[in-house]
Structure 1
Amino acid sequence: MFKVSARTILELGSELISSDIIAFYELIKNSFDAQTKNGVTINFDITLQRNEFKKIDGLLNRKEISLESAIELIVTALDKNSIYYKEYFEFIKNSNSLDSLNENFKIAQNNFNRITISDTGVGMSPDQLNENFLVIGTSSRKKDIDIAISAKSGTSPYLGEKGIGRLSVMRLGNYLRLTTSTEKSQEESVLEIDWEKFSQLDLMLDQIEIKAISKNKEKEWHGCIIEISNLTENWTRKRVDELIELEVAKLTDPFEDVRKRPKIFIHWNRIRISIPSMNRKLLEHSHAELRGSYSVENGKPYIKCHYIVRDAGVEHPIEEDIYYLTDVDLHGLLVGDKLNISLESLISIGDFNFECYWFNRQKLKAIDGIGNQKTARELQKQWSGIFLFRDGFRVFPYGEDDDDWLSLDRKALAHSGYSLNKAQFIGRVNISRIGNPQLIDQTNREGLRINDEQKLFIRILRNTIQERLLQFLKSIKKQYKDKKINIETIETDVNSLKKRADDAVKQLRSHIDPEGKEFFEDLQQTLFQYADFSKNAKLKIESVENDSLMMTELAGIGLMSEIIAHELARTAENALDTLNDLKNKEVSVDIRKGLEVLRGEMNSLSKRLRVLDPISIAGRQRSENLDLIEVIEDILDLHKPQFIRHKIDVQIIEKPNHKIMMPIVKGILIQIFANLISNSKYWLKIKKDRIISFSPKIEIIIESSPPTVIYRDNGTGISVENKDRIFKAFFSLKEESKRRGLGLHIAKENAEYLGGKLYLDNEINEETSRLHTFILELPEAGNLENKK
């Protein structure tokens, strides 16, 4: 017979309840499974934040503060809005020594900071409390759900079935007090658990006695109240706000009418915090959308998708397409001839539906009823992701920022041109426990269990969302890109239309009374003005295009020339200093050393002069078959004096063990890196000024297939809000004397000239909560040859 140690419960809880939102999710679902009538209420009653407690506790332990000062410091830090403020205050104010204050302080902190989850559900009787709540992995709900699945009708009687939700409380705090009562009972049951007892290494599970007690009700009520104290995390209003905005708002299906969604109420120290709802006006302004359904009728599966594209990146009318596949199509598309997943899974997967809205964030504009462009983009970012909902509740972690469950980003990186990524989507997929019995959560809530149905499910969504939508967008772009405005054609068309209009006016004049002469003269004058406007517009467009091209070329060379000029000046100054040091000295060891320094500076000067040729307009168009790794190493060597001077540690931390031979326009690559390095140098210096012990670093990773350069530094990073702005011409956050705002704009255009792209990776640095990584994707050798 197995024996279970007490600490196994703690290990089980930490493995299965992996985050705070999962803990709240499990407790919220339990309340709805208990048929709560008025929703679920979560109260954060935080009298003293944990971080403040630790700071003051440290002073008390080290006895670096007087008793009076310590009490005053504690009282000042308490939140007077907390319902436990007076109790906390009374508990510590009468302490007569630092030792007693230290002890009382810990007790007060554990007791008077609480998270409470309450509902008005059916509650539990004493027997149910002992036989169900205190049994890990109960089977009662699973049996009821299996019966409902067998009946193949209705909805699931429960959201949860594994019987592990009660482990969620230990994620949030070390002490639990649960009070529950049923509607007709005159008593309420109270269960208290100190989870810290379970941490004793030699204690077995059956040695910890936990038993509910019953007492008479003081008032009529039914439901469940879970009070969690001795909290393990530092809870602040800001943290709760972020939890609500980023997680709780998406816990239930945000696409549904807010009035129909399960009710969740959250309070911070008696102040209610509203839960954001998604504004569907945003979806109406998406650049493309699709609605799809997968169904099985009479044993035959089929899929139907309706695509609407409003803006594929070129001028075009709204395009629509219906995507319909039968069971044979699905077999060929999703299963294939190798049958690596079973054909039966096409039926056993069950019915589901989905809708997705795609946004080209660069073209997302102000929306009436939402706000300006910035507000619209922020709103799209807030709701971005393709979420999976089962019976209206979220399936984690699908849709989270760092989750790419449909491999949209991976596929986007594989495309050298037009591509889609998960940050561009807002979408949902709806499944149900009864309709999709094989799509089951993993026990740790980290996605669906991997089986044939799950594999098929992912393939269907990838095909319809990523591949099919991308193909449709590309086809529209290809169809209309050759129909873009042609100035010469417009001029011819306008002249032709003017002639036809003149002829029509003459014919009309002959049939109209002379009194209408003034009308026709106005009409003819309007035609003349339009023709003149068209002519001037043509000249203006040509001028703007030429000026824009010249500006880009000259600005690129200008920026690079300034960098080189700076290095030339430094080299000349160092040479002069060396010669001055050697003046009036005999030829000796010192002179020879000085001459070696001078020779090194002259070699550096020569190298910089050689750079001028590949960045010239003519020179930089020439491609050579070079090793990408060697070119990058040469570029870094070129900047080595800067790195040494600014004490920047620059390393290629990962690269293939073979050459990457490809046609390379070296000058353009030099410019791209020069601008990246220039930005890094500036912001690394800013961070060094702020943190004396900071060690500046630049790290580069080179990948071969496709040729990709990942460039990152450990500087201040780029805020998420400015992610799209940094590549815009003339946007800069540098000080005025260094502010040009063309570097990254030119670098991005240069990358596109090479047939690649330069962009910011979406990964947010945990330390800075900002973006630090640029990705330069270069085309395969054949694609670059075509670009030439």
Structure 2
Amino acid sequence: MNGSLDIERLRAEYAEALEGETPDFNRLIELAAETAQKDPDHVRFSTDAGIISRLGRELVAKEETAVAELIKNAYDADATFVQLTFQDSREEGGVLIIDDNGLGMTRDQLIAGFMRLSSNDKVVHPYSTRYNRKRAGRKGIGRFAVQRLGKVLTIITQTKNSSNALKIEIDWEAFTQGRELTTIASTIETLEKKQKEEGTTLIISDLREGWSEKAILRVYRYVSELQQPYPLHTGTELNKNEEQASNDIKADPGFKTELIEKLGNSARTIANEETEIFSHALARIDAYVDANGNGFWSMKSDRLEIDIEDTPIGPNVEEDEQSEEDDLNEDEKSEGGYNEYDSDDFEEDYDKSLRMLEQRLEYEKRMKIADIQPFKHLKNVSINAYYFIWNSGLISRSMSATLRNLATEKGGIRIYRNGFRVLPYGEKNDDWLELDDSYARRIFLPPHGNSNFFGFVELIDRQGFLFDETSSREGLLENAAFEELRKLTYRVLIAAVLQVAQARGRKQSREQINWNKEKNNLSDFNAIKGAADRLITLVKIKNSNHTNGEDDFDYSDIADEIKNAVDNQEILRNELIAELGLLRVLASLGLVIGEFTHEVRQLLSAAYVNARALSKVVFSDQKDKETAEDLFSNIQSFRTYANYFDRAVSDNALRELSSQDLRLVIRNFVATIESSAQRRGIVIETVIDGYDILTPPMHSSELSSLLFNLYTNSQKAIRRARKRGKIRIKSGIDDRSVYLEFSDNGDGIPVEHQERIFDAFFTTSTPVDQDASQEDELQGTGLGLKIVKDIVAGYDGEIYLTNPPEGYNTSFRVELPLYIEK
């Protein structure tokens, strides 16, 4: 009976809620929830509104992570620029404004996307609409990130095709425990005037925590991997036809973030690409060719006090002029220079040296006064680049790993034609200037690979007379103008690199003579020793003139201490020299290996160029085309491996320990082995919890060795299991430690072997036969996990087997002390 009365009451209340021109939607939703509870035959899940705040706390532990997720959402919406303004936010209660120029949202997208918990949009559409970016934001985290930051959210959004903007205000304090989630409504209104052409603005009011400058800087670091330190456009003015054509261009113009702090009426930039990327560059390099073909280049380095401005540059000297200079150099070298005279033939040697000097001066005079010829094909070209040297102590440790990883992924010299980017120049693994090849061949010794530069070339050629795209629209036609451009850009960059090396007192080429790397150190040492000797002399003079009643302290004691300290340093230095002699002997094998890898790099560079050219050939047989593309892909993978190990070895050669960010280490490692894993049918999943997962100071090559040992073990276990393999790498922070878990679904490790797997020469690998490859023989020695354990133990860490996650059979866990940046 009571049930019938309730149904009648609900009918009446439904009718009342539906009356009038506009139904009472909030009341209808409340009635729907109540009606569902009256169903005698079915039960349904309901959602408590308190889940919003609970998920905000649990999914987004740190406020910097929350802001980073919102920036990633702007990136996923194909924004090219996002500006964050922290307004009066030093204490809680401030305002954060996040303004982007992305695609914006329609009403349907707002309701089905942002206002829907656990939306599957990023699963169904893993790449963005306009620029085909791989989405960076974690699925469904954005709204919880906003709730984590402040109490009130205002969203203003508009799309390019809309005539109005939409505005929503959400009061997160209304989402309290005990209320049904679906009964809490937020007002949406249509604004008659759009704020901008397209994009979204988030206004987060009544911030829950204060924001220091360091916390704001951490936000930029967390999204540094998304930044592209290149122009969004080159500033070239476009006519209407060109603007219309730009709508069809899908090349990603880039993404930039700027963070501003505003206190009252005063605003200042905390972080942008200038402060966080370009300010760490060792030098800025510029060049241009004007409308008449006249070229000039400039270079500026405040740190090294280099300022070269508008120096003329033209095509390479003619062959006969180059030959003349080569002859002069050869004569001078064979005769021993200008100043070495034999006492028996002094006059003859002197006259010969004088003639050589006159010839050299005359040649240099002619070259100096001669007009530098204009370029034959280049017109209206400009070059801009920033030069970085990694692992040199020139960049702070806190930024070095972040910037180097950015350079590895996005470093190089891009090309923009008439304001728009031309692919593939400047993409990862594209070496159109052959900088990587040049550095590998070590003709010039200072670092000058693609990852040492962020830069671009701008071409103004509206009619396409000089530069035109290929029929496949993949690059420019490699005609005479393109070849001249390639040579000019390479020459300017190398000239700047050599200037930097000279200013730093570094050797520039293998052929450089009369260069002594210990000269500066010895002069400093001798200067200190000489100063101590002079101090002793002065003190003795002072003591000899000492007057009774004055300070009778014997200053010679201080001088003697300095002298003894210097003498001890000299003894220590001699001991180190003896030790270095022993190390040179031990390094002889390394030299042999180095020569071998040098030859491999040369052959690999040539193979890469040939394979790339072959992949662009038009084949009549589709199978031949696929074979050529596979060859190019395999050589690219080989280069990735080679570059990864070259980097690990060069880092180790510096013998400087530095804290490693596991987030970046794992990402670089996965990028290296991904193609290898795919060929073996292995799927790799990474789970990184948090940021600043910093190890104790250690060599990066040690982590590389650790990961590759675990990977090869997993690879063999999966092969033995004869199944489709999967590997899961997880990392994060646990209490005062950082951890790394490496899991696979191979055949597992028998219980009786688990206590012995870290013993030297113990192996679970199947014994190899006489036909086994050398790789298989080396991988089955039983030393891999012993080496891994020694590495981890050397930093007060531990490695052990742990319970594998569901779907996996083996899981190793590595724990190392957490490094706290000072």
TM-score tier after normalising by the smaller chain length: 0.3 to 0.5
Using structure 2 for the length normalisation, give the TM-score. 0.36
Using structure 1 for the length normalisation, give the TM-score. 0.37
Higher RCO (C-alpha 8 Å, min separation 6): 1
